[in-house]
């Protein structure tokens, strides 16, 4: 904005609540309100707005129709019923002559009639449509109210000028539509990039390495790539390298002949053969023992398989995808993973973000799970209360999408016959241990700290707490800690009996 922004809402207009999921838009509106206006309050969504309206004396609400957590028409109807004296102004983000415009939610205006321009400073939030288009609908969400207004007079009219308020300041650049992968939910920029790359590589047989924390949907991405490939009608075989004991992993992958070892009463084709013509997913490949990595290298490099107890070599046509929640490059540096195998698996790497890094996807994914559970339970569709929505958005989600799914399932059961999922139904943990840990903290930042706990002791407590939390399930504990199962066993051995 050039120069001093004119004041839109002065003290006579009462308190203002600005509602938008976009921080940049909220900041721009607050800047436009000017220094002489009463302090405005921000809300990042519909649920947040309803919470802030309780017990407050707001007179005006500026609403971004692109809120993501609640249906905008239902939100407006709720606000009208609860706060009849509150003036609601909907931000109209249509590009009209390069200007950003607003349109009012006038409760008294009948359909298909001209709405008079409101008096006072709030009139500055109105904008004139292009002359050639004539009257236009007041809301981009389908309101029947039609408006035709004139440019405000005086300094307020400066907001109409492209030099004062430009479309670029308020409206993000249009994003090309990218279809999600089959079975996946989420439209955040990071996930759209994952979809784009996955679709790009799906048509080829290039090896793909999918990395990301536990519970982010690595297997879903792998299956999506398979479904979009020319191999979609052939098998999709998953091998969990962390769940199969080292002594059995070779036989499970490559197969064996009768008499190859004690108990081998008949020949058996391995998982690689089972995936012939299709796709093989090596899940948690970072947990594969070094001895097996050398044997896997021949298959990855040459497409050849030799069964245990046989001298015969078989050529197979299998597309290989690997996934891991470990830092494989760090494993390579620690001599825990073969460098040559890593570079053959990571021809096309995909890094999935944790759920906390794509917070805009939390509510759509939560609603998706809730819809599934309602349908499975043959009950009417439930909704989340505003308090529950806030809890979902503010939680750290260390277990990512898998944790969210389980949390919603539990809340669905606890909600019984209620139409809403309440905050208490979610039963969110409040332990400090689950909060994000500052990465740039120092002792000086915490003057009340009397004594520091050694890092090794913190790690020991975290490991033992995870084992106790999962009731001794070592695999679940390893996933909770985001480490490999073998790493967990090694640390438990170091700690000794507890």
CATH code of residue 364: 1.10.8.60
pLDDT (0 to 100) of residue 324 = 95
Instruction: Let me know whether 309 and 196 are in one domain.
Output: yes
Instruction: Let me know whether 318 and 222 are in one domain.
Output: yes
Q: Mean pLDDT for each 10-residue chunk of the chain (498 residues)?
A: 41 73 81 66 84 82 83 81 85 45 39 37 40 34 32 35 32 49 88 93 94 94 95 94 87 82 76 93 93 90 84 88 94 92 94 93 94 92 93 90 94 92 86 45 48 75 82 80 80 74
Of 336, 351, 366, the one marking the end of a domain is 351
State whether residue 177 is helix, strand or coil. Answer: coil
Q: Find all residues with CB under 8 Å of 282, minimum gap 6, and list them.
A: 239, 241, 288, 296, 320, 321, 322, 323, 345
User: Rounded to whole angstroms, how far apart are CA atoms 31 and 459?
Assistant: 46
- Element spanning 313, H or E: strand 313-315
Question: Residue 68's closest CA among 353, 354, 361, 357?
Answer: 361
Task: Provide the token pair at 472.
Answer: 């001794």
Instruction: Let me know whether 39 and 145 are in one domain.
Output: yes
Residue 37 carries which DSSP code? S
Instruction: Let me know whether 279 and 338 are in one domain.
Output: yes
Instruction: Let me know whether 143 and 217 are in one domain.
Output: no
CA atoms 315, 320, 323, 327: torsion sign? positive
Instruction: Let me know whether 257 and 120 are in one domain.
Output: no
Whether 392 maps to a domain, the answer reads: yes
pLDDT (0 to 100) of residue 430 = 57
Whether 380 maps to a domain, the answer reads: yes
Whether 2 maps to a domain, the answer reads: no
Phi, psi of 270 (to 5 degrees): -80, 180
pLDDT (0 to 100) of residue 437 = 46
Whether 119 maps to a domain, the answer reads: yes
Instruction: Let me know whether 346 and 390 are in one domain.
Output: no
Whether 481 maps to a domain, the answer reads: yes
Whether 441 maps to a domain, the answer reads: no
Q: Which alpha helices (DSSP H) does 9-84 contain, by range?
A: 23-33, 46-53, 72-82
- CATH number of the domain at 462, please: 1.10.10.60
Instruction: Let me know whether 451 and 427 are in one domain.
Output: no
Residue 145 carries which DSSP code? -
- CATH number of the domain at 296, please: 3.40.50.300
Burial 397-431 (b: 16+ CB within 10 A, else e): bbbbbbbbbebbeebbeebeeeeebebebbebeee
Instruction: Let me know whether 283 and 398 are in one domain.
Output: no
Question: Residue 401's closest CA among 356, 360, 443?
Answer: 356
Instruction: Let me know whether 162 and 274 are in one domain.
Output: no
Instruction: Let me know whether 195 and 344 are in one domain.
Output: yes
User: Rounded to whole angstroms, how far apart are CA atoms 395 and 185?
Assistant: 19
Of 300, 323, 351, the one marking the end of a domain is 351
pLDDT (0 to 100) of residue 223 = 95
Instruction: Let me know whether 215 and 333 are in one domain.
Output: yes
pLDDT (0 to 100) of residue 432 = 39
pLDDT (0 to 100) of residue 158 = 38
Domain that holds residue 379: 358-432
User: Rounded to whole angstroms, how far apart are CA atoms 295 and 268?
Assistant: 18
Whether 96 maps to a domain, the answer reads: yes
In the chain, the number of structural domains is: 4
Q: How far is CA 198 from CA 181, 191, 281, 333, in A?
A: 8, 10, 15, 28
pLDDT (0 to 100) of residue 452 = 63
pLDDT (0 to 100) of residue 497 = 63
Whether 77 maps to a domain, the answer reads: yes
Residue linked to tokens 């039609």: 146
- CATH number of the domain at 51, please: 3.40.50.2300
The reported pTM is 0.57
């Amino acid at each position: 904005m050039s120069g001093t922004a004119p004041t839109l809402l002065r003290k006579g207009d009462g308190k203002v609540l600005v509602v938008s999921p976009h921080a940049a838009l909220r900041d721009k509106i607050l800047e436009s309100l000017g220094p002489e206006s009463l302090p405005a309050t921000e809300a990042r969504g519909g649920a947040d707005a309803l919470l802030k309206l309780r017990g407050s004396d707001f007179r005006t609400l500026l609403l971004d129709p692109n809120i993501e957590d609640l249906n905008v028409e239902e939100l407006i109807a709720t606000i009208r019923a609860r706060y009849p004296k509150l003036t609601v102004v909907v931000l109209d983000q249509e590009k009209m002559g390069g200007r950003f415009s607003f349109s009012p939610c006038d409760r008294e205006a009948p359909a298909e009639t001209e709405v008079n321009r409101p008096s006072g400073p709030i009139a500055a939030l109105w904008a004139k449509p292009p002359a050639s288009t004539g009257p236009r609908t007041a809301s981009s969400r389908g309101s029947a109210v039609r408006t035709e207004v004139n440019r405000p007079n005086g300094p307020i009219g400066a907001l109409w000028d492209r030099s004062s308020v430009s479309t670029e300041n308020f409206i993000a650049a249009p994003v090309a539509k990218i279809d999600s992968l089959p079975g996946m939910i989420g439209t955040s920029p990071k996930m759209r990039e994952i979809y784009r790359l996955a679709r790009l590589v799906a048509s080829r047989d290039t090896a793909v390495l999918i990395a990301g924390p536990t519970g982010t949907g690595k297997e879903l991405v792998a299956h999506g790539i398979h479904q979009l490939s020319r191999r979609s009608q052939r098998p999709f075989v998953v091998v969990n390298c962390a769940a199969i004991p080292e002594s059995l992993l070779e036989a499970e992958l490559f197969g064996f002949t009768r008499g190859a070892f004690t108990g081998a009463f008949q020949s058996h084709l391995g998982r690689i053969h089972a995936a012939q013509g299709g796709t093989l997913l090596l899940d948690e490949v970072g947990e594969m023992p070094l001895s097996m990595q050398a044997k896997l290298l021949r298959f990855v490099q040459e497409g050849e398989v030799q069964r245990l107890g046989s001298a015969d070599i078989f050529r197979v046509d299998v597309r290989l995808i690997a996934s891991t929640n470990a830092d494989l490059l760090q494993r390579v540096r620690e001599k825990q993973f073969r460098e040559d195998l890593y570079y053959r698996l990571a021809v096309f790497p995909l890094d999935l973000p944790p759920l906390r890094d794509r917070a805009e996807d939390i509510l759509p994914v939560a609603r998706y799970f809730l819809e599934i559970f309602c349908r499975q339970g043959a009950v009417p569709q439930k909704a989340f209360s505003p308090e529950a929505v806030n809890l979902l958005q503010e939680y750290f989600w260390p277990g990512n999408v898998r944790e969210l799914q389980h949390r919603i399932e539990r809340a669905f059961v606890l909600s019984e016959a209620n139409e809403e999922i309440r905050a208490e139904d979610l039963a969110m943990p409040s332990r400090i241990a689950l909060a994000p840990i500052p990465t740039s903290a120092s002792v000086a930042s915490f003057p009340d700290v009397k004594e520091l706990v050694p890092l090794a002791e913190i790690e020991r407590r975290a490991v033992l707490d995870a084992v106790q939390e999962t009731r001794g399930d070592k695999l679940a504990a390893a996933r909770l800690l985001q480490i490999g199962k073998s790493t967990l066993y090694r640390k438990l051995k170091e700690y000794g009996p507890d």
